[in-house]
Amino acid sequence: MSKNSLYRDLTAFGSQYPLHYKMKDSEKFIEWTEEKFDYVKYNPRKPVNRHGLSITSLDGGLSGIPDLDSLIEYNIEHETNYTERDFATPTPVLEWESLKNILKPFEGHIFRTHVLKLGWGGFFPPHRDHPDTALWENSSRDPETKCWIGEPNKVSLDTFRLIMPLKNCQTPNMNFVLEDKILNWRQGVLYFVDTARMHYLFNTSVNPSYWLVVNVDVNDTTLANVLRNIDA
């Protein structure tokens, strides 16, 4: 079965839904990361209040280069060809036990995973995620946001996103919008999200908002792990 067919199976239960994977100590985890590590600028070209902390990276390091950069822009500037799959080496952040337990069922299938920190006014404009822009058909880049615009079924979808609100992620101050619907998620719960659909997020609070963002390979094993653990 093709990866696109497997991805469509993931979305058969909706464009987003909760899983049984939970982190009860998500706030303690964030406190630990702030004490032990340095968050680095997320896409340093953009004057936006957002930072990240790598959970997997190119070499297991925490520089954020280039895994917390825009891969599109980095590849163009440096004449490289990195994709999500190149960032699969665990960093010391994965030492946290409950995080390790959540990701263990997907071990060997995880790429470019990090904690996202959105400060006051931090945002991502409306966009669709995709690891390899060369595979978009009948699509174009928005001249202002530099994001790719196209239909989800026009692209090879070989990874999917799992996202967990970790701290200060509640509406109305922090909003994650998927296709014009504001998502009201539970803290410490892992969600499947079809980020091939248009989405955006923004933080209007003075308190930073923290999110776990996991990129997972689309295959039979990961599909089964997700579908067996839907929290209905």
What's the CA gap between 152 and 136, in Å, rounded?
A: 9
3-228: CATH topology: Jelly Rolls (2.60.120)
The pTM score is 0.89
pLDDT in tens, the chain (232 residues): 788 899 999 999 999 999 999 999 999 999 999 999 999 999 998 999 999 999 999 999 999 999 999 998 999 999 999 999 999 999 999 999 999 999 999 999 999 999 999 999 999 999 888 544 334 344 454 554 444 444 444 456 889 999 999 999 999 999 999 998 999 999 999 999 999 899 999 999 999 999 999 999 999 999 999 999 999 7
Domain residue limits, the chain: 3-228
CA distance readout (Å), 230 to 104, 165, 167, 211, 215? 17, 17, 22, 20, 18
Q: Are 212 and 132 in contact (CB under 8 A)?
A: no
